[in-house]
Amino acid sequence: MDTAEIRRRFVAHFERDGHTPVPSASLLLDDPNLLFVNAGMVPFKPYFLGQETPPYDRATSVQKCVRTPDIEDVGKTTRHGTFFEMCGNFSFGDYFKEHAIELAWDLVTKPQSEGGWGFDEAKLYPSVYVDDPEAVALWRKITGLPDDRIARLGKSENYWSMGVPGPGGPCSEILIDRGPAYGADGDFSAEDRYLEFWNLVFMQDELSAVRSKEDFDISGSLPKKNIDTGMGLERVAFMTQGVENMYEIDVMFPVIQMAEQLTGRRYGADHEDDVRFRVIADHVRSSMMLIGDGVTPGNEARGYVLRRLLRRAVRSIRLLGYEDPALPELFPVSRDKMGETYTDLHTDWERISRVAYAEEETFRKTLQAGTQIFDLAALDVKKSGRTTLSGDQAFALHDTYGFPIDLTLEMASEAGLAVDEAGFRSLMAEQRERAKADARSKRGQHADTGVYRTVLDEHGPTEWLAYETLETESNALALLVGGTPARSLVAGDVGELVLDRTPFYAESGGQAADAGTIEFDGGRLEVLDVQRPIKGLVVHQVRVVDGEFTPGDHLLHAQVDPEWRTGARQAHSGTHVVHASLREVLGPSALQSGSYNRPGYLRLDFGWTTGLSPEQVRDIEQVANEALRADLPVGWQYMTLPEAKEWGAIALFGETYDNTKVRVVEIGGPWSRELCGGTHVDHSSQIGTIVVTGEASVGSGNRRIEAFTGVEGFRYLARERDVVAQLTGLLKTQPDDLVGRVGDLVERLRTAEKEIEKARVGQLLSGGGQLASGAAKVGPVNLVAHRVDGAGGGDVRTLALDVRGRLPQGEPGVVVIIGAADGKVSVVAAVNDDARARGLSANDLVRAVGPLVGGKGGGKDDVAQGGGTDVSRIDEALAVVAAEVGRVAAG
């Protein structure tokens, strides 16, 4: 069976049993604890945690997943991969252990002719948690297997928890015996022999005092017992297709075959080559799926993972001997196989391929530059007598040049060096902790939502009226300070206030939260921020302006600042208009990847690999303002997500949407249709104006447009007008002639600067002859060791080379010039051929004086340069030069 048929039979099997088929969620769910969806149950977490009510009692899905902690092991074993598909069936308080086992066993063992997978029962072994006798009894009852065919495993293998207080429970796995060639009889820890391909989680326990995933207390039973299963599609595929591993299945092996054609190497002939072939097949597919879901290469978080995957794939095929751009050959092969299921890969191919191919081109240039840096670092290590490249150097290669650590390790090994991996990984860990701390510090990403959950459980959801009104009469449900309940706030205090109903828009979808006030009997609160820490609850960050605030039975008057809301509506609608204009000018593949808007201002990030020309920026602005002038109607309606997509609505990358209804905002009908929960104007003309103020890169494959809207747009234009008026007054010209007049002045300035520079260099070099004629004799060597105050690096190098050329021919000559300018030291050493023949090296001389002036440097034997920050020791450094020249010349 091909992979698509295995997937189809899985979904059909559970759909016949009353499960609701749920499409795969994006790989980029809004979860501060996850970079990517890494398990089939992740999209259903709010249901299992009781944060949301599921719209169905039972569901089934085939979920896209990415796991990258073991990325270095990809290809080295046949078990590790980064992208995979997890087939799952889920029960939310409906059926439990017995029916879950029945469903799994039926599909696995039913003959293929009857719609099953046809696995041989004689090779199947269920496993159970060692302390779950109920599961043992059920497996015996349902399968008829003897006791010795049911493996008992410990907590680390067969008990599921998330490592935090909440639901947990024992697991059962279905294992298949691949035979004695893969391991010893009965050794269930040998994953190659007894391969687990289906895991059934029986979510029945309430966990507390969680110390780790394997160390916790069970405080009781869950009020509703749930089922969460996961079946690895790739594992079932390779077992049913008669191949050895996941890399050889129908949706992956064609990439290996293309790599064979490109390189002339053969898969299966050499272990190291096989590892590289597998890396290529895995990483090409993973990269393509990530780009398809909106990730672009970068140096942080998701973008860094994608960059690493792409670069490992490129490097692997280069190590197989293929030097030309490879991704344009490999990506279409993976697209054609995966696109049979994920049709967006075809419709969005222009953008996906553009991002991938641009990253390969960047990396090809990076490899050249980074290799030179590595060579210098390796030379430095060897000259110092060491044999290990430091963790700092390895981390710099990784962080600055995008070198994976395994690339550095391999290059170091070829150079006869080791690498301080512990130091490197320590620096990597520090970087990850900084990234995590930064993520936790972002507004709205509350690390502990327990206190908000308690408020929601006690009082129910906030009645959110931001679409209907700008003011409400409300009751205070909770007052919090520092995450704990508080009794009151006095003037100047800041706290969090939960109301039973609110007109305030909570920050989401790129739109900033509303500003305004909340008045109470005897005082007033200023609303500083509004967030949704958990679904259903709106939390207002407030500061007491007047009076002492104590929650009570009296009504509060919540009032959104109407000017603020007007500006916010203009900016958010303006963002949609700019997005539509961008797509009209650049094409449909220019899709928004992020946005932020507040009153009077918007920024929009979009996937694009090249900078926009001034003409393109002007065209985008013109199309946008023509849409405003056309007074296009703005409307919204609710529909299901499939209906919205069929209608042509754009769903933004990484956003999560309600499974039942989504809100579609349209401007001018089909011209702009997007899924959006923000506040908007009623007609495009109410935006006022859109003034594009900038376009720039925000990372590889991502650009950003910024603009002002409404009154802020007019103010920006007024400031620009004032600047033009001042310049025309100063230059005594007309506005239409201003650019030419300024251009003339700039050209005259450049000419003057060139003349000044020519005169300055001439003056500097005029002393070269005198310095050469005054060279000191150090043994047989003519030495010029001289200090030049006010000279920077370029001047120092020019003078050193000039003096060296003036020294007597046929005699050893050494020139060391040290300049000082703006508190910085520049050192250049120049040595002629006769001096080098006597063992003198410019590189050695610069390295000798570098520490004295508070810096370092290096170069070749004939010319080397360096720098430092300690001007006070220049004379001492020159003395060291003379001593070093004398020592080498005497030797």
Extended beta strands in 71-216, E state = 83-92, 124-129, 151-153, 159-161, 166-177, 194-208
pLDDT confidence band for 438 (50 / 70 / 90): low
Please give the pLDDT value at position 446.
41
Please give the pLDDT value at position 564.
96
CB 664 within 8 A of CB 604: no
What whole-number distance in Å separates Cα of residue 104 and Cα of residue 98?
A: 10
Which string of b and e fits 328-365 if b means at least 16 CB within 10 Å?
ebbbebbbebbbebbeebeebbebbbbbbbbbbebbbe
Report pLDDT digits (tens) over 225-240.
Answer: 999 999 999 999 999 9
CA 266-269-273 angle, to 5 degrees, is: 70
Please give the pLDDT value at position 367.
77
Q: How confident is the model over 496-521, as a mean pLDDT?
A: 95
Q: What is the mean pLDDT of the chain?
A: 90
CB 230 within 8 A of CB 199: yes
Does 676 count as an annotated binding residue? yes
Q: Which amino acid appears at position 555 of this protein?
A: L
Of 558, 438, 447, 444, the residue nearest 498 (C-alpha):
558
pLDDT confidence band for 453 (50 / 70 / 90): confident
Please give the pLDDT value at position 748.
94
DSSP per-residue string spanning 172-205? EEEEEE--GGGS-TT-TT-TTTEEEEEEEEEEEE
What whole-number distance in Å separates Cα of residue 60 and Cα of residue 67?
A: 21
Instruction: Flag whether pLDDT at 448 surpasses 70.
Output: no
Please give the pLDDT value at position 444.
39
Q: Which CATH class is domain 565-718?
A: alpha beta
Please give the pLDDT value at position 434.
65
Instruction: Flag whether pLDDT at 704 surpasses 90.
Output: yes
Instruction: Flag whether pLDDT at 580 surpasses 60.
Output: yes
Q: Which amino acid appears at position 606 of this protein?
A: F
Of 419, 414, 551, the residue nearest 475 (C-alpha):
551
Write the CB contacts of 8 (distance below 8 Å, at least 6 apart in sequence): none
CB 207 within 8 A of CB 166: yes
Q: Which amino acid appears at position 140 of this protein?
A: R
Report pLDDT digits (tens) over 391-430.
Answer: 888 888 877 766 767 678 878 887 889 999 899 888 888 8
CB 568 within 8 A of CB 666: no
Burial class (CB in 10 A: 0-12, 13-18, 19+), 149: middle
pLDDT confidence band for 792 (50 / 70 / 90): confident
Give 826's strand partners.
Answer: 819, 867
What whole-number distance in Å separates Cα of residue 293 and Cα of residue 752?
A: 54
Instruction: Flag whether pLDDT at 659 surpasses 80.
Output: no
pLDDT confidence band for 432 (50 / 70 / 90): low
Specify the residue for token string 């269930």: 188
Q: Could you give the C-alpha distances from 655 to 345, 509, 574, 595, 791, in angstroms and in order? A: 18, 8, 20, 12, 56
What secondary structure letter does DSSP report for 717?
Answer: H
Please give the pLDDT value at position 657.
61
Higher pLDDT, 68 or 140: 140
Write the CB contacts of 331 (distance below 8 Å, at least 6 apart in sequence): 284, 288, 352, 353, 356, 357
Specify the residue for token string 């925000």: 698
CB 225 within 8 A of CB 96: yes
Q: Tell me whether domains 3-242 and 770-890 share a fold.
A: no
Distance between first and last Cα of the chain: 79
Please give the pLDDT value at position 407.
74
The architecture that CATH gives domain 3-242 is 2-Layer Sandwich (3.30)
Does 540 count as an annotated binding residue? no
Instruction: Flag whether pLDDT at 102 surpasses 90.
Output: yes
Q: How confident is the model over 320-335, as a mean pLDDT?
A: 95
Please give the pLDDT value at position 439.
45
What whole-number distance in Å separates Cα of residue 370 and Cα of residue 364?
A: 10
Q: How confident is the model over 365-375, as a mean pLDDT?
A: 77
Please give the pLDDT value at position 694.
92
What whole-number distance in Å separates Cα of residue 439 and Cα of residue 436?
A: 5
CB 881 within 8 A of CB 815: no
Does 171 count as an annotated binding residue? no
Q: How confident is the model over 707-728, as a mean pLDDT?
A: 94
Instruction: Flag whether pLDDT at 182 surpasses 80.
Output: yes
Please give the pLDDT value at position 442.
41
Structural fold of domain 770-890: Diaminopimelate Epimerase; Chain A, domain 1 (3.10.310)
pLDDT confidence band for 700 (50 / 70 / 90): low
Q: How confident is the model over 874-879, as a mean pLDDT?
A: 92
pLDDT confidence band for 698 (50 / 70 / 90): confident
Instruction: Flag whether pLDDT at 308 surpasses 60.
Output: yes
Please give the pLDDT value at position 707.
97
pLDDT confidence band for 651 (50 / 70 / 90): confident
What whole-number distance in Å separates Cα of residue 533 and Cα of residue 449?
A: 7
Give 195's strand partners.
Answer: 176
pLDDT confidence band for 436 (50 / 70 / 90): low
Report pLDDT digits (tens) over 838-874.
Answer: 999 999 999 999 889 988 888 899 999 998 999 999 9
Please give the pLDDT value at position 437.
56
Domain boundaries, the chain: 3-242, 253-441, 450-560, 565-718, 770-890
Please give the pLDDT value at position 443.
41
Q: How confident is the model over 614-640, as a mean pLDDT?
A: 95
Please give the pLDDT value at position 607.
84
Report pLDDT digits (tens) over 189-223.
Answer: 766 789 899 999 999 999 888 888 788 999 989 88
DSSP per-residue string spanning 267-301? TTS-HHHHHHHHHHHHHHHHHHHHHHTT----SSH
pLDDT confidence band for 352 (50 / 70 / 90): very high
Does 554 count as an annotated binding residue? no
Q: How confident is the model over 118-124, as a mean pLDDT?
A: 94
CB 525 within 8 A of CB 513: no
Which string of b and e fits 192-223 if b means at least 16 CB within 10 Å?
ebbbbbbbbbbbbbbbeebeebeebeeeeebe
Which string of b and e fits 509-546 if b means at least 16 CB within 10 Å?
bbbbbbbbbbbbeebbbebebbbbbbeebbbbbbebee
Report pLDDT digits (tens) over 255-281.
Answer: 999 999 999 999 999 999 999 999 999
Q: How confident is the model over 179-187, as a mean pLDDT?
A: 85
What whole-number distance in Å separates Cα of residue 406 and Cα of residue 390?
A: 15
In this prediction, what percent of the chain has a pLDDT beyond 70?
A: 96
Higher pLDDT, 366 or 168: 168
CB 697 within 8 A of CB 703: yes
pLDDT confidence band for 440 (50 / 70 / 90): very low
CA 119-121-123 angle, to 5 degrees, is: 85
Joined tokens for residue 127: 């496993």
Element of type H or E holding 527: strand 523-531
| 536 Ramachandran zone, left/alpha/beta (phi>0; psi -120 to 50) | left
> What dotted CATH number matches 450-560?
2.40.30.130
Task: Kindly report the pTM of this predicted structure.
Answer: 0.68
The distance between the two most distant Cα atoms of the chain, rounded to a whole number of Å, is 104
